[in-house]
A and B are shown apart, each in its own frame.
Chain A
Amino acid sequence: MGPIATTISRLYGIRGWTALGAFAAVLFIVFPVFSLLVPPSSPFHVSQYWVTLIGKIMCYAIVALAMDLVWGYAGILSLGHGLFFALGGYAMGMHLMRQIGREGQYQSDLPDFMVFLDWKEYPWHWWNTDQFWYAMLLVVLVPGLLAYVFGYFAFRSRVKGVYFSIITQALTFAAMLLFFRNATGFGGNNGFTDFKRILGFTIATPETRMALFAITGATLIGALLLGRWLVTSRFGRVLMAIRDAEQRVAFCGYNTVNYKLFIWTLSAVLCGIAGALYVPQVGIINPSEMSPANSIEIAIWVAVGGRGTLAGALVGAGVVNGAKSFFTQAFPEYWLYVLGLAFILVTLFMPHGLVGILRKWRATA
């Protein structure tokens, strides 16, 4: 067997690859065909609502995957992943705001909120954001750099466990307060919205939306394979050893700080990319994405699906967010009860999540 074949068989068995192939087929063939080619009058037509909803959930799934890499495999519970997600979203949002051009309410070169604040030119941090490549660079670099610097100091001082969780929560809380200010230059309370086009394509057409949907799906599958490749490698083994007994790993001569820092930064970058895909599909980004409650919800996606199994993170993000959009429409007053109960029951009775239950059931059957 060649090295590529070895890698392929290392990542998943026959069954795993088949499942992944089926998933890809649904995303790239079934959805486009039933959404674009089947006429809206047909009962088989997939409406824009579903395309947007599934696209949104896939963005969340990338975040859950990123969370699982640090929490499930390295034992670092972050309560600030919403911040990285929002930063990626804001970087993309800046570019989309500049693509609006003079079509805003005030027909100005500047975004409406800047006209409203009586600003005459773009502030420094908007420099060059009209270039798509530069905005994409920001999507990766801003969350990545912030996570690197934050993680470098935290891991070097051996801040861990709950302490780390609490200061990540403080970090995202501080950032939320900062972005709520109008003077920060990101639209304050309202954030960015009313986007018109992306890369010259009108953002509201079914074709553009389907393209974004497909790109999100491809990114999700790519992130899953990358994660799987990492955790099945030697690197992944060391990471799990750090999770279970960090001191012993350090005594064996590994520099645990570098391992944690790498996975932490990678996770933040994945979140940033997810945020950048989320904004054009959902059409809005505002500081509430950085609220501590949003970040802690990410942890429950992973916990419901099953920590330490990448597929579990995807399942969890899908199940929880699917339930959320069902409940907030059908029984809005019960959603918080359901979510709260999920937190309690999963931690008390389902330490390995849905995937754990499935495995147990398969083992006994």
Chain B
Amino acid sequence: MRTVFFLLMLVLARPCLALDAAAVGKLAFGDADERSAALAVLVAEGDPKMVALLEALSAGDVQTAGERVLIVKGDEATDAVTGAKVTPLPKEREDVVANNRLRREIESALSALKLLSPDRAARLAAAQALATGAEDAVLPLVKKAMAQETDPAIKPMLELIAATLELKGGTKESRIAAIRRLGDSNSPNTKTLLMALLEKDREGRFAETDEDVRAAAQASLRAVDGKLVWGEMGGLLFAGVSLGSILLLAALGLAITYGLMGVINMAHGELIMIGAYTTYVVQNLFRAHLPQAFDWYLVCALPAAFAVSALVGMVLERVVIRWLYGRPLETLLATWGISLGLIQMVRTIFGAQNVGVENPSWMSGGIQVLSNVVLPWNRVMIIAFAALVLVGMWMLLTRTRLGLFVRGVTQNREMASCVGVPTARVDTLAFGLGAGIAGLAGCALSQIGNVGPDLGQGYIVDSFMVVVFGGVGQLAGTVYAALTLGFANKFLEAWSGAVIAKIAVLVFIIIFIQRRPQGLFALKGRAAET
């Protein structure tokens, strides 16, 4: 054991004596090719003094005095080969200028050297830097780092970098071997790399001329695809649920005001927008007065958003909507007018530009489930939040006195009034509840998208589509509709692009409504006739 340790010490200590003088000389005086070759020699040695030399070279601090190569910082100079101080400073010196090619190679080499650092963060950063473009010279270093790397996040990156380098240069055999090794990977980046080999240019010629290489790439691509397909499906499912939950949040308030009460509220989107702006205000208050508790501003913003939107909703119901019950088209126009006023009001107060709402730190980042699936925390939170709001609303409607009154009034207003339900006040409260839920949606949406005066306009068509598609008056229908539309949108998006997917879904709903005007879930019995 001791002998091994001693030998190891010896190996590690050996290069510390001095740099290869010939290589340093070539680096300073040689032509372009010689300098690259010298760099490769130096890099292979892996001496810490070399790091100082390379950093100086890329900073333009290397000068030559006769045959000697100096690193000059201010008035002090050290010999690049021995590391000894040089005093006094020689008078006749010339700058060593690194051209772009050499600069690139030096950057690459410096990153590659950091791959051997004991600090995990430094290694990760170095690997990420190299992944965007590494120079051929660092290949031996990357291989060396690969052999001793144990971190599961960094090792596959190194393998990919090494394979990329081997693919670029090298013999046919070594390239095919590299491609075969790539076939074992399960990283989506591998796929991009392999696809590049199979690309054709404008005239239909393959970029890669060797047929065997192409065949190997094809086989590896299939293998990688096989591993990635589950991740892709999973990612798609998650995206579908995520979009579905956003649609659900936007539509839940409408399910009460339109679905249960029959009020066409075109200002629904603006109530969402008000919720988002309330969140913005609460965030600013926390930043100004309680910066230490900034991470928890959402706890305060949620009830505030609910309260502000509910209040605005109740005022609207009292002042405008109350007088238009039973005249849906007039309600539509009047609430549209309200929405225009609210948009302009927000523009006057907060400006026409989008405002910045910051995620609390516990919401940033995500969970890595598979190599190609990351679930961002804010999306996960929104799904959970949508479920929570749904359960809360359902409890409120079915388990409380107010819920009982709301259902009673919507089913038979006269009879409810006869048995003493204050129908006018129930209307106001129910509308306030719907508006408040829109406010909660706004608070949630502020965490994943832009907050601006036009925020609500983007959701109004979508949320009406969800409610109408699900069947008016059906809470369960709204949930199914939101999830169905979320999935449909995301799955179509995967093969047709976002805009076409959106258009296809809209056209589908239009056709669906024409075939089945009552929506997915029709009210049964007499209510369906009216």
From residue 317 to 352 of chain B, which have CB atoms closer than 8 A to chain A?
Answer: 320, 323-324, 328-334, 336-341, 343-344, 347-348
Q: How large is the interface on A (under 10, 10 to 19, 20 to 34, 35 or more residues)?
A: 35 or more
From residue 140 to 159 of chain A, which have CB atoms closer than 8 A to chain B?
Answer: 150, 153-154, 157-159
Q: Is A178 an interface residue (CB 8 A)?
A: yes
Known contacts A173-B506, A333-B348, A348-B320; decide if A343 and B337 are in contact (CB<8 Å): yes
The answer to whether B340 and A339 have CB atoms under 8 Å apart is yes
From residue 319 to 361 of chain A, which have CB atoms closer than 8 A to chain B?
Answer: 333-334, 336-337, 339-344, 346-348, 351
The answer to whether B264 and A162 have CB atoms under 8 Å apart is yes
The answer to whether A177 and B499 have CB atoms under 8 Å apart is yes
The answer to whether B502 and A340 have CB atoms under 8 Å apart is no
Give bound CA distance, A341 to B502, whole Å: 33
Cβ of B468: which chain A residues have Cβ within 8 Å of it? Answer: 163, 166-167
The answer to whether A340 and B344 have CB atoms under 8 Å apart is yes
Q: Which residue of A lies closest to B324 (CB)?
A: A347
Give bound CA distance, A293 to B458, whole Å: 11
Give bound CA distance, A170 to B347, whole Å: 26
Cβ of A341: which chain B residues have Cβ within 8 Å of it? Answer: 337, 341
The answer to whether B323 and A348 have CB atoms under 8 Å apart is yes
Q: Which residue of A lies closest to B343 (CB)?
A: A336
Cβ of A157: which chain B residues have Cβ within 8 Å of it? Answer: 514-517
CB distance from A165 to the nearest CB of B (A): 6
Q: Which residue, B336, B339, B465, has most C-beta atoms of chain A within 10 A? A: B336
The answer to whether A344 and B338 have CB atoms under 8 Å apart is yes
The answer to whether A343 and B336 have CB atoms under 8 Å apart is yes
Cβ of A153: which chain B residues have Cβ within 8 Å of it? Answer: 511, 514-515
Give bound CA distance, A347 to B329, whole Å: 9
Q: Which residue of B lies closest to A172 (CB)?
A: B461
Q: Out of A180, A334, A343, name the residue touching B334 (CB < 8 Å).
A: A343
Give bound CA distance, A347 to B449, whole Å: 34
Q: Out of A150, A334, A339, A351, name the residue touching B337 (CB < 8 Å).
A: A339
CB distance from A133 to the nearest CB of B (A): 31
Q: Is A161 an interface residue (CB 8 A)?
A: yes
Cβ of B339: which chain A residues have Cβ within 8 Å of it? Answer: 340
Cβ proximity bits B502-528 to A, threshold 8 Å, 1 near / 0 not = 110011011101111100000000000
Cβ of B336: which chain A residues have Cβ within 8 Å of it? Answer: 296, 343
The answer to whether A342 and B337 have CB atoms under 8 Å apart is yes
Known contacts A161-B328, A170-B465, A177-B499; decide if A348 and B334 are in contact (CB<8 Å): yes
Q: Which residue of A lies closest to B468 (CB)?
A: A166
The answer to whether B337 and A177 have CB atoms under 8 Å apart is no
The answer to whether A163 and B337 have CB atoms under 8 Å apart is no
The answer to whether B333 and A299 have CB atoms under 8 Å apart is yes
Give bound CA distance, A153 to B332, whole Å: 24
Give bound CA distance, A334 to B347, whole Å: 11
Q: Out of A154, A181, A303, A342, name the residue touching B514 (CB < 8 Å).
A: A154
CB distance from A142 to the nearest CB of B (A): 17
18 pairs, CB–CB < 8 Å, chain A vs chain B: A153-B515, A159-B514, A161-B329, A162-B264, A162-B328, A174-B506, A180-B499, A300-B333, A333-B348, A340-B338, A340-B339, A340-B341, A341-B337, A343-B340, A347-B324, A347-B337, A348-B320, A348-B323
Q: Identify the 4 closest CB pairs spanning chains A and B, nearest first.
A: A343-B337, A340-B340, A340-B341, A336-B344
Task: Supply 4 further A-B pairs (C-beta < 8 A) apart from A77-B332, A157-B515.
Answer: A157-B516, A177-B499, A339-B340, A348-B320
